[in-house]
Amino acid sequence: MCAEEVREGQLTTGRTSDTYIFMNSTVTISQLQAKAPAFVREAEKQGSLSIARHGRTVAFLVSRERMEAIIETLEIMGNPNAMKAIRAYEAGKGKFKDASCLDED
């Protein structure tokens, strides 16, 4: 397989025995160690990168923006009033209210 690596800010294609497709947002631990700043910038642009060891994803490098969105989604999903309002809206039975009503118990 071909892997694309970041060299001097440009994508170049190289061949190694342990490679992954960069365009699918997966890099090896070795690639990350060698070029961490470039991959952090790429995660900031794309939202996240998968980190693989021996062909299996073992970790994710997630941008701050993506992580904040994940936390916000989890907070909404953990709010019974918000989920009730979302289900009602999806069923066509909901009405729009000010978001501050979700803070009420």
Q: CATH number of the domain at 58, please.
A: 3.40.1620
The verdict on 57 and 72 lying in the same domain is no
Query: Does a structural domain hold residue 102?
Result: no
User: Percent of the chain at pLDDT above 70?
Assistant: 72
52 confidence band (pLDDT: 50, 70, 90): very high
The verdict on 56 and 6 lying in the same domain is yes
The verdict on 84 and 37 lying in the same domain is no
Query: Does a structural domain hold residue 43?
Result: yes
The verdict on 24 and 72 lying in the same domain is no
The verdict on 8 and 43 lying in the same domain is yes
Q: What is the pLDDT of residue 17?
A: 38
What average pLDDT does the segment 47-57 reach? 95
More confident residue, 12 or 65: 65
2 confidence band (pLDDT: 50, 70, 90): very low
Dihedral pair phi/psi, residue 4, rounded to 5°: -110, 130
The verdict on 75 and 58 lying in the same domain is no
pLDDT at 56 over 50: yes
Range of the domain at 41: 2-62
CA atoms within 13 Å, Cβ hemisphere of 84 = 7
Q: What is the pLDDT of residue 100?
A: 77
CA torsion sign, 11 to 43 to 3 to 18? positive
The verdict on 55 and 72 lying in the same domain is no
Q: How many domains are there within the chain? A: 2
Query: Does a structural domain hold residue 99?
Result: no
